[in-house]
Chains A and B, each alone.
Chain A
Amino acid sequence: MQVPSAQATAASSLLALEEVSCRFGGLLALDRVSLQVQPGEIFGLIGPNGAGKTTLFNLISGVGRPTAGSIRWSDGAINGLPPDRINRLGIGRTFQNLHLFQRLSCLENVLIGLHHSARAPLLPALLGRRSFRQSQGELRQRALELLELVDLADTARQPAGSLPYGSQRRLEIARALATAPRLLLLDEPAAGMNPIEKEELSALIRRLRSRFDLTVLVIEHHVPLMMSLCDRLAVLNFGRRIALGTPESVRHDPAVIEAYLGVSA
């Protein structure tokens, strides 16, 4: 896969944020953030707690609206669209604070992600005709394959809420994948995982990218993991984008060292 250059242009980008701001009362959670994500890249977003990373995901996925600036997807503005419309345009997401359908089984969680693939003629569905049962069987098969991909096939029948933390995070990924996104937003997918699980997750994200032709935007605190996983990174601090570029250039950026990495270096 070709790795896009750090100076990618807005014209070729899949997602482009232009001077996006988001204000909550007196708090400017995002302050004129601009960035472009190129097709096929794994783009990392790092920064201290409260820097505005999750807020940025919320704006992209339609959960919140920017108070200024614009968000362009392919070649249309999507700011202000509701989350279900944005998902239909090809943007899937997971949640930092887990939003699974707790009481439903893992399989049902993924089946719900397959909602728009599950369209079936009403009458055969109501009558439980064979054509309907067959299409439902195929749907279940697809859901099971997605569960298998994240190593959860064995727990397909268990309620999502009963899974260990790490498994719930992977289930969120499978459910988001079921919506057939072109861009996947992962909000701290490795939180609560042990080092081995983190490595496995990193490999999984790469595998998913090549298998589904995905572009990935990922938030994660574990800096070494992000350095090895991401093609490019942006660093947020107090709502501002303070750095942007390849892992190598970000690592040596003085502003980053001072604001963020400096703490651990």
Chain B
Amino acid sequence: MSDLSLLVQMGFGALLALSVYLPLRCGQLSLATPGFYVIGGYVAALLSTSWSALSGDGAGYPLTSLALELVVAALVAAAVALVLGRPVLQLRGIYLAIATIALVEILRVLNLNLAWSGGAVGIFGIPQPFAGPGGYALATWVLLALVCWLCARLEDMRLGRAMAAIRDDELAARCMGIPSADVKLTAFVISAVIAALTGVLAAHFLNTWNARQGGFDASITTLAFVVFGGSRIWLGPVLGGLVITALPELLRPVGDLRLILFGLVILLGPILFPQGLITPERLARLQQTL
């Protein structure tokens, strides 16, 4: 894999980690992210391969068509999240986690068996808006920067404060007039949109899309990003997503040992840093020493 391709994958990791982080920021352990990632990918794959008007007449796939896919994927994901979110978010803690894993699995099985999703083989020959990995890297990191900026702004906004309040004590938050169901739903919808946008870029980047892109494994991996990096401030999941995606590639020189080392890192991270690598306190101390 080229360095630029790795950079793209790392960007995807960080984006999906932020998608898991947002519901967690209001105390909701939702593992639905891979499901919305898959939905975004299918929107891109289906639109770009079956709607010829989008392909344009030039050599490459037009960027305007990519932009249109991003908009459609965001709308579809938001609509699905809005409909599913109300009932699902009434579940708490581990029950919400299990329910969202189940949703992702149901979606995977559906996609494996439906005709329009290409069944088990999936959809091939997704056109390329960028000539090489460089373009993908740029697009991915621009999207990542935008999402990071949104998360950073949340810290200053009342929505961000309301999310923190619900995470700390939902009952108290409600008694202070915060409509917790709406706030949780908002976080869930933004999370879904981020995952779907990532899916659009990933489908083009991988050139092919199928049901295996999301499933139980993906739910756990995206959760590992956040557990490893930390879930109390947005830098945590970003770091977790980047590092854990890059690690298997970076460890390639050590050969067969790499899976063991990878496992060790994932295991030791939470043991040594139960709150994740990055916490607001550690960040403040770092700022002081610099």
Interface pair B176/A175, CB less than 8 Å apart? yes
Stretch in contact with the other chain, from B167-175, B198-206, B221-229, B234-242? B167-175
- Taking the complex as formed, is B32 at the interface, i.e. its CB lies under 8 A from any CB of chain A? no
- Taking the complex as formed, is A205 at the interface, i.e. its CB lies under 8 A from any CB of chain B? no
Stretch in contact with the other chain, from A15-23, A24-32, A107-115, A247-255? A107-115
- The interface bits of chain B over 170-209 (1 if a CB of A lies within 8 angstroms of the residue's CB, else 0) are 0111111111100000000000000000000000000000
The prevalent SS among residues of B at the interface is helix
- The interface bits of chain A over 72-98 (1 if a CB of B lies within 8 angstroms of the residue's CB, else 0) are 000000000011100110001101000
- Taking the complex as formed, is B165 at the interface, i.e. its CB lies under 8 A from any CB of chain A? yes
Between B172, B173, B178, the greatest number of chain A beta carbons within 10 A of the residue's beta carbon is seen for B172
List B contacts of A93 (CB < 8 A).
175
B52 to chain A, nearest CB (A): 37
Interface pair A179/B156, CB less than 8 Å apart? no
- Taking the complex as formed, is A130 at the interface, i.e. its CB lies under 8 A from any CB of chain B? no
What is the bound-complex CA distance between A99 and B173, given in angstroms? 9
What is the bound-complex CA distance between A120 and B153, given in angstroms? 13
Residue of A at shortest CB range from B150?
Answer: A126
Between A84, A88, A128, the greatest number of chain B beta carbons within 10 A of the residue's beta carbon is seen for A84
What is the bound-complex CA distance between A63 and B177, given in angstroms? 12
CB within 8 Å for A116 and B171 given contacts A108-B161, A125-B157: no
- Taking the complex as formed, is B162 at the interface, i.e. its CB lies under 8 A from any CB of chain A? yes
Interfacial residues of chain A within 43-84, with CB under 8 A of chain B in the complex: 61-63, 82-84
- Taking the complex as formed, is B158 at the interface, i.e. its CB lies under 8 A from any CB of chain A? yes
Contact of A115 among B153, B156, B162, B169 (CB under 8 A): B162
Interface pair B172/A99, CB less than 8 Å apart? yes
CB within 8 Å for A179 and B177 given contacts A119-B158, A128-B156: yes
Interface pair A87/B175, CB less than 8 Å apart? yes
- Taking the complex as formed, is A101 at the interface, i.e. its CB lies under 8 A from any CB of chain B? yes
Interface pair A179/B171, CB less than 8 Å apart? no
- The interface bits of chain A over 166-203 (1 if a CB of B lies within 8 angstroms of the residue's CB, else 0) are 00000000011011000000000000000000000000
Size range of the interface on B? Answer: 20 to 34
- Taking the complex as formed, is A136 at the interface, i.e. its CB lies under 8 A from any CB of chain B? yes
- Taking the complex as formed, is B138 at the interface, i.e. its CB lies under 8 A from any CB of chain A? no
Interface pair A99/B169, CB less than 8 Å apart? yes
Interface pair B168/A115, CB less than 8 Å apart? no
- Taking the complex as formed, is B164 at the interface, i.e. its CB lies under 8 A from any CB of chain A? yes
Interface pair A84/B161, CB less than 8 Å apart? no
List B contacts of A118 (CB < 8 A).
158, 161
Residue of B at shortest CB range from A160?
Answer: B168
List A contacts of B156 (CB < 8 A).
125, 128, 136
- Taking the complex as formed, is A222 at the interface, i.e. its CB lies under 8 A from any CB of chain B? no
List B contacts of A83 (CB < 8 A).
171, 174-175
- Taking the complex as formed, is A153 at the interface, i.e. its CB lies under 8 A from any CB of chain B? no
What is the bound-complex CA distance between A115 and B177, given in angstroms? 8
What is the bound-complex CA distance between A116 and B173, given in angstroms? 12
List B contacts of A113 (CB < 8 A).
176-177
What is the bound-complex CA distance between A120 and B150, given in angstroms? 16
- Taking the complex as formed, is A207 at the interface, i.e. its CB lies under 8 A from any CB of chain B? no
List A contacts of B158 (CB < 8 A).
111, 115, 118-120
List B contacts of A92 (CB < 8 A).
175-176
B119 to chain A, nearest CB (A): 42
Interface pair B161/A111, CB less than 8 Å apart? yes
What is the bound-complex CA distance between A111 and B175, given in angstroms? 14
What is the bound-complex CA distance between A95 and B174, given in angstroms? 13
List A contacts of B175 (CB < 8 A).
61-63, 83-84, 87, 92-93, 95, 99
Closest CB pairs A-B (n = 4): A99-B172, A87-B177, A118-B158, A101-B168
Given A95-B172, A125-B156: 7 more A-B contacts, CB < 8 Å: A108-B161, A112-B161, A112-B176, A113-B176, A120-B158, A126-B153, A179-B176
Sample 16 A-B pairs with CB under 8 A, ordered by A number.
A62-B174, A82-B174, A83-B171, A87-B177, A92-B175, A95-B172, A99-B169, A99-B171, A104-B165, A111-B161, A112-B178, A116-B177, A118-B158, A125-B153, A126-B157, A136-B156
B interface residues with partner A (beta carbon < 8 Å): 150, 153, 156-158, 161-162, 164-165, 168-169, 171-180
